[in-house]
Amino acid sequence: MDCNTCENHIQAFLDRTLSGEDLRQFLLHVKKCSNCHEELETAYLVEVAIPRIEAGSAINLDKELSERLAAAERARLIHWVLSNMMRSVEVAAGIVLSYSAVRAFILFGMQYITFFD
Ligand SMILES: [Zn+2]
């Protein structure tokens, strides 16, 4: 992901609407690109931190943003694991259905042969 695309995704990240491959690429990019990380910090400050400071809460910007990035990474991994598990379940179901179909076909064939024997 390039810096331009990354910056375009900052709002979606803050809105928690960034997901899948875009989220993965975004997290990788802000981890290694100090400019985009700084952009994210600024956006987080304006969108999240300042309203809370105005409401009287104390905040630790670095800690909260790090936790937010880590939580997004965990959520992305959990989503990835669950979608792969679902794919495995689908494959297993497909195998069971295929086996059942073949078995039914063979049993029907044997009855058919027995019937005309
Ligand atoms: Zn960048």
Question: What does the domain layout of the chain look like in residue ranges?
Answer: 3-112
Cβ neighbourhood burial of 83 (10 Å; 0-12, 13-18, 19+): exposed
Q: In this prediction, what percent of the chain has a pLDDT beyond 90?
A: 48
Mean pLDDT of 84-98: 88
Mean pLDDT of 68-93: 89
pLDDT for 79 equals 87
User: pLDDT digits over 22-65, tens only?
Assistant: 999 999 999 999 999 999 999 999 988 888 888 888 888 889 99
User: Is the per-residue pLDDT at 117 higher than 70?
Assistant: no
What is the reported pLDDT for 113? 74
Which residues 6+ apart lie within 8 Å of 29 measured at CB? 1, 3, 6, 36
CA dihedral 39, 41, 44, 50 (to 10 degrees): -120
Those residues whose beta carbon sits under 5 angstroms from the ion ligand 1 are 3, 6, 33, 35-36
As a whole number, the mean pLDDT across the chain is 90
Residue 53 Cα to ligand 1 middle (Å): 28
